Each structure stands twice: as structure tokens, then as C-alpha cells.
């Protein structure tokens, strides 16, 4: 969007950060710490911001050897090109990550023990990259809450607008300087100026099917992270004249259940060792095998003749098994037993392989089963996919089953090309003034994503982009006109510290837990009749509607019926269940103090 003299500004900030995920939280925090007045916007409603960071494990890369770590990364890039300055800057910062966590979070990072030989142990110096963590547990939202808290501690300097997607960057037609952002806030397009810089931290394009097909060449991928990464950062970058890079790179976790839902279930099933052990295999669109089932994926990358590639997705693959395998899974007792037993309830059943092939439109399924049995009984070696023969058992009597699955996608890496200062570059590799980028949008990874590096990158790039965007620039005349803009109550911040001032009457107590999956604390009020629980009211919660949101009424009824908080956690909602119990126990204690 080109600036002209007819454009009127609605507000002015020093820095605008587009995207309230992990990188955006960091950029806003460090911009504020450098005396900038910051506007932080997100397209998601409150409680759903956080991007993919909300779903991340929270481990970040660390090393103590610059030369070895750089060599390791260079091998993972090969044969793709890389920018030596960008890579060196990243490696230098990875070496400082333990000091980073101590200095900026007051936490001594701990070694996680995951992938002690690196995600690619075949490469030299793979062991030099070790994952660290600042939070206990993984995939529980703890890391995201840590970053979000640092923003909420600075609400005197940071305004937050939820459900406010960026529409356009506003750019000077002559100097190409980014002057501000047009933002759709409360249904109205607002032109907001940025004196010093705009940071694009709005994630990738995994929920934009057109971009997935155009840039990744894949037809059907199931998102397993945020649903709000729609590729807007790509549009904004192109609009400003930026050069794109790494557009074909993305990572995955193998398969998800295929129900046609926006976010499918069971995203990590390829790593469930007791699932693919027996008379079972993955069938492609025509029914034939194409995927080594017992091989743990490397964020979706699979071994391919000496290299690791992202497996081209099939449009309607299935997990195929016989009756013996179905019964085996129904009685599974591994740590994934609960999920496996739920997974097989989605199976399509047929009395014969021919009938099953017809039901799932897989014409070569009978041939695939015959080949599978031949490898097990005659060759005793999987000469095609190299699955370990001890995990394979010939198919026996029916009935037979097929579970519909989809290849999934965690996040993309493509975006505007950035330099070591997180400045966005144009088509001639010149800096676009006042435009910065952070996080997975345009990160430095060209191929073969390595676990724990996106978290390291968002911490590193968020800090660099926020600090550089906050640095005072020469004032632009176009921005100065904002000083005449009147105060507008519609432009106030949406973010406020959570209120804990809830009323309680006689024989009642309030309990609060901040350990749910969502950032908003769970607040309950318990009414006691003597030593009995007569009522449990949930006063505040924003847990995931289809998991935690459904679990809370179930737990409430069980606690009242059994007169104890020691009830079983609801399947799939263990974090919410634990937090709800914590809140109820605290409420009971407070009621008993009256």
C-alpha cells in the first residue's frame, strides 16, 4: 500500500509487531525494553494467539563449539545454498542460549537428553548440538506461557490487539521505507504508523491450501499446529518488494487420522512403536506400500538413497491390518495404548481384502498384501523399504481393516529473505528500510529441519528484530502527521492482566490454577455443606473447546458424585484435568478456612 498525502493515520507507535507468537512476543518484549512504544497484533482471538509456539515442546538448541556446530549445519543444508553471514550469526547466538535463558528469564536451562547424537547422527559433529529447556514437561503450553508472561509484564509499553489481522504494509513510494501497517481492528481498517520499524512475525502458510500446493507441491496436508498461519506474511513481503527464500521447506510428524477436520488427531502415530509391529502396513492411494513404517521420522524427513527427503504425500493413504493385528492393538499395553485403542475405532472393516480394496478405492491392495507376505515368509527381508523383518508378520485370516490417514504438516519455513540483523531484503538484496522479520516466517533453514532449532531461532530472531526495530530512525515527514490524530477509545489495548477478584459467599472458596493448557487461568468456586462438596462452579476458563472444555463438566460431575478430587483425568485432556483438580483443591481449602 503506497503512502500518499490523502492517507490519514489513526495512531502512531514506535514499533508494530505483526503476529503474537513466540517470535512476536520476543520482538515486542525487547522493543519495549529499548524504550519503544509497541503495538502487537494478532489475527487470532484472545486465548488462541501464540502461533505454533503454543503447541511446541519448548526445547531449544545449544552448543559450546562454534566450528563443529557450523559444520553440522552446513551438512544439513547440502546441496542447498546458504548465507554464511546468516548462518554464522545464528550459530554464534546458539552458543549463548544458556546465558540467554538466565539473563532474560532468570532460569537455568536444563539438558533435555533428547536426541543425544543429534537428529542426523550420520553427519559429523552431530552430537555438538544439544537441546535445552527452561520449562518442565513438553507440549503442555508451558514455554508459550513463559514468553507471553514477559509481554504482559510490559503492558505499560505494549498494546495488544487481538482479532486484528494486518491488511497491508504502508510504504513510501520513493525511499521504499515501511511507514506503518493497515490493520483491520474491530472490523474497521486502521492506518497505524510505525516511527522506527515493523516486525513481521506472523508465521508460515501451512493453513493456506493454495500456497501449500504452489510452494510445497503437496496436495493434502493436515496442519497439527495453529490454524491461524494463513500465509499473510508472504503477501505482505511480496507487496513490499521482498525476495522470498526457503519456500519449499516444511516439517511434519508423519501421519494424522483423516477425518477432514481442520486439525486432525493423533499427529505422532508414526513414532508409536507398538502400532507398526505385526501384520500391518501403510498403503498409498493405489493400495501399495510406499512408506517404511518402523522408521522414526525426522520431522517428516525419511531416508532416501543416502539422503533424507520429505515424503511426497498420497491423497488418501490408509493403515492396513488383519484381524490378528486388530486384536493385538485392542489389547495393547504400551504407553500409547489409550490413543491406539481410540485410533482403531476409526477403522473401516471388510471380510476380504478385495472388499476392503473396493471400500477404500485401492485397486492394488491385494497385490500389496501378497507382496508383504512374500517378503516375510520367503525372502525374510523387506528388500524394498528396509523395514526390520522382526516387526513384520504375514497377513492371516480376516476380517481386514483400513484406517484413513493424512500426511501432516507442522510448519513452513519460507518467507522474505532476511540478513543477520533480521532486516528484510528486496529483489536486489538491499535492505527494505524499517522492515524486519522474525520466527518461522523466512527463517534460515533451507531444508532438513533439525529439532529444537525453531525455538532457538524465535528466541534469537525475536530479540534481534525487536531491538533493531526499536532503534530510533530519522523521522519521516509522513509519520509526523500522526501527531494531529485525536485519541480514539476504540484503539485501546485488548490485553489486561487477568483479574482474580471473584466473589465468594458463606461456605464458599475460590480456587485458581494457571497450569491449564490455555494462558487464561482456570477459576472455580466451590460450595461446601459441612465436609461435603455441594457445588463446583467454573467461573473462568478458555481451555481447548474439544478437549479441556469438554473435560471440565465431566470432572465436575465425578467430583461431586464421588465426593473427592481424586478422579481419573479425562482422556486427551490430562493437562486441563490436573489444573482443574488443583483449582478445586485450592477452593476447598479456602472454603474450609471460613
> Residue 138's pLDDT is what?
74
How far apart CA 196 and CA 473 sit, in angstroms, is 6
- Under DSSP, the state recorded for 467 is H
How far apart CA 580 and CA 79 sit, in angstroms, is 50
> Residue 484's pLDDT is what?
42
Asked if 20 contacts 200 with a C-beta cutoff of 8 angstroms, the reply is no
Q: How far is CA 150 from the centre of its chain?
A: 19
> Residue 546's pLDDT is what?
67
- The one-digit pLDDT tens for each residue of the chain (594 residues) are 888 888 999 999 999 999 999 999 999 999 999 999 999 999 999 989 999 999 898 999 999 999 999 999 999 999 999 999 999 999 999 999 999 999 999 999 999 988 888 899 999 999 999 999 999 877 778 899 999 999 999 999 999 999 999 999 999 999 999 999 999 999 999 999 999 999 999 999 999 999 999 999 998 799 999 999 999 999 999 999 999 999 999 999 889 999 998 889 998 888 899 999 999 999 999 999 999 999 988 999 999 999 999 988 899 999 999 999 999 999 999 999 999 999 999 999 999 999 999 999 999 999 999 999 999 999 999 999 999 999 999 999 999 999 999 999 999 999 999 999 999 999 999 999 999 999 999 999 999 999 999 999 999 999 999 999 999 986 555 555 554 444 577 888 988 765 556 888 899 999 998 888 777 789 999 999 999 999 999 998 888 776 777 899 999 999 999 999 999 988 778 888 999 999 999 999 999 887
> Residue 458's pLDDT is what?
98
**Locate cell 488383519: which residue?**
322
How far apart CA 102 and CA 106 sit, in angstroms, is 4
How far apart CA 311 and CA 211 sit, in angstroms, is 18
> Residue 486's pLDDT is what?
46
How far apart CA 161 and CA 17 sit, in angstroms, is 11
Per DSSP, the three-state class of 477 is helix
Asked if 109 contacts 131 with a C-beta cutoff of 8 angstroms, the reply is no
Question: In this structure, which long-range contacts are made by residues 111-119, counting pairs with CB atoms below 8 Å and at least 24 apart in sequence?
Answer: 112/59, 114/59, 114/451, 114/452, 115/451, 118/72, 118/450, 119/298, 119/299, 119/450, 119/451
What string of H, E and C letters represents the secondary structure of 260-299? CCCCCCCCCHHHCCCCCCECEEEECCCCCECCCCCCCCEC
The arrangement of secondary structure in 266-407, i.e. its CATH architecture, is Alpha-Beta Complex (3.90)
Per DSSP, the three-state class of 471 is coil
Q: Is the dihedral of CA 253, 256, 260, 265 positive or negative?
A: negative
Beta-bridge mates of residue 412: 250
**Locate cell 544439513: which residue?**
76
- Whether CATH 3.50.50.60 fits 11-250+411-491: yes
331 by Cβ neighbours in 10 Å (0-12 / 13-18 / 19+) ranks as exposed
> Residue 482's pLDDT is what?
52
CA 331 vs CA 148, 266, 274, 302, 393: distances in Å: 42, 18, 11, 30, 17
Residues in the chain: 594
How far apart CA 63 and CA 49 sit, in angstroms, is 31
- Phi first, then psi, for residue 568 (nearest 5°) are -65, 140
CB-CB neighbours of 275 under 10 Å: 25
The set of residues, in sequence order, having a beta carbon less than 8 Å from that of 581 and lying 6+ positions away, is 555, 565, 567
Amino acid at each position: 500500500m503506497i503512502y500518499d498525502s490523502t492517507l490519514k493515520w489513526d495512531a502512531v507507535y514506535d514499533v508494530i509487531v505483526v503476529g503474537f507468537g513466540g517470535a512476536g512476543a520476543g520482538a515486542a518484549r525487547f522493543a519495549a525494553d529499548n524504550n519503544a512504544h509497541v503495538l502487537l497484533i494478532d489475527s487470532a482471538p484472545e486465548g488462541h494467539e501464540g502461533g505454533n509456539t503454543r503447541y511446541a515442546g519448548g526445547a531449544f538448541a545449544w552448543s559450546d563449539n562454534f566450528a563443529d556446530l557450523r559444520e553440522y549445519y552446513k551438512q544439513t543444508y547440502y546441496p542447498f545454498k546458504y548465507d554464511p553471514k546468516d548462518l554464522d550469526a545464528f550459530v554464534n547466538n546458539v552458543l549463548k542460549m544458556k546465558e540467554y535463558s538466565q539473563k532474560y528469564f532468570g532460569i537455568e536451562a536444563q539438558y533435555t537428553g533428547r536426541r543425544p547424537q543429534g537428529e542426523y547422527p550420520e553427519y559429523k559433529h552431530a552430537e555438538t548440538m544439544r537441546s535445552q529447556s527452561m520449562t518442565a514437561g513438553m507440549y503442555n503450553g508451558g514455554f508459550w506461557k513463559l514468553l507471553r508472561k514477559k509481554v504482559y509484564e510490559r503492558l505499560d509499553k505494549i498494546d495488544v490487539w487481538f482479532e486484528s489481522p494486518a491488511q497491508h504494509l504502508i510504504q513510501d513510494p520513493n525511499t521504499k521505507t515501511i511507514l506503518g501497517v493497515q490493520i483491520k481492528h474491530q472490523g474497521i481498517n486502521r492506518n497505524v504508523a510505525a516511527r522506527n520499524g515493523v516486525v513481521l512475525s506472523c508465521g508460515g502458510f501451512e493453513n493456506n491450501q493454495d500456497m501449500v500446493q504452489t510452494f510445497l507441491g503437496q496436495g493434502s496436508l493436515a496442519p497439527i499446529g495453529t490454524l491461524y498461519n494463513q500465509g499473510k506474511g508472504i503477501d505482505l513481503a511480496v507487496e513490499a518488494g521482498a525476495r522470498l527464500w526457503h519456500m519449499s521447506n516444511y516439517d511434519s510428524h508423519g501421519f494424522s487420522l483423516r477425518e477432514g477436520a481442520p486439525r486432525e488427531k493423533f499427529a505422532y502415530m508414526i513414532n508409536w512403536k507398538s502400532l507398526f509391529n505385526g501384520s500391518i502396513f501403510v498403503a498409498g492411494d493405489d493400495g501399495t506400500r510406499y512408506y517404511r513404517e518402523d522408521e522414526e521420522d525426522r520431522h517428516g524427513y525419511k531416508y532416501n538413497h543416502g539422503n533424507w527427503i520429505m515424503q511426497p504425500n498420497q491423497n488418501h493413504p490408509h493403515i492396513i491390518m488383519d484381524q490378528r493385528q486388530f486384536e493385538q492393538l485392542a489389547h495393547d499395553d504400551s504407553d500409547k495404548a489409550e490413543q491406539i485403542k481410540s485410533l482403531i475405532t476409526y477403522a473401516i472393516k471388510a471380510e476380504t481384502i478385495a472388499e476392503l480394496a473396493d471400500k477404500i478405492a485401492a485397486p492394488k491392495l491385494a497385490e500389496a498384501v501378497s507382496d508383504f507376505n512374500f517378503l516375510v515368509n520367503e525372502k525374510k527381508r523387506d528388500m524394498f523399504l528396509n523395514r526390520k523383518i522382526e516387526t513384520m508378520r504375514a497377513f492371516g485370516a480376516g476380517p481386514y481393516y483400513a484406517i484413513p490417514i493424512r500426511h501432516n504438516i507442522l510448519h513452513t519455513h519460507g518467507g522474505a529473505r532476511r540478513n543477520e540483523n533480521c532486516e528484510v531484503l528486496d529483489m536486489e538484496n538491499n535492505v527494505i528500510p524499517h522492515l524486519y522479520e522474525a520466527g518461522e516466517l523466512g527463517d534460515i533453514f533451507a531444508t532438513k529441519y533439525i529439532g529444537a532449532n525453531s525455538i532457538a531461532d524465535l528466541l534469537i530472531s525475536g530479540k534481534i528484530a525487536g531491538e533493531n526495530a526499536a532503534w530510533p530512525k530519522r523521522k519521516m515527514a509522513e509519520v509526523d502527521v500522526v501527531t494531529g490524530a485525536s485519541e480514539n477509545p476504540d484503539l485501546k489495548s485488548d490485553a489486561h492482566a487477568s483479574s482474580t477478584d471473584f466473589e465468594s459467599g458463606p461456605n464458599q472458596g475460590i480456587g485458581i490454577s494457571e497450569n491449564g493448557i490455555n494462558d487464561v487461568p482456570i477459576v472455580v468456586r466451590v460450595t461446601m455443606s459441612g465436609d461435603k462438596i455441594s457445588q463446583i462452579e467454573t467461573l473462568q476458563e478458555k481451555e481447548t473447546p474439544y478437549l479441556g472444555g469438554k473435560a471440565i463438566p465431566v470432572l465436575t460431575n465425578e467430583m461431586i458424585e464421588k465426593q473427592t478430587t481424586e478422579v481419573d483425568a479425562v482422556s486427551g485432556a490430562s493437562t486441563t484435568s490436573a489444573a482443574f483438580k488443583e483449582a478445586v483443591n485450592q477452593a476447598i481449602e479456602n472454603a474450609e478456612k471460613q
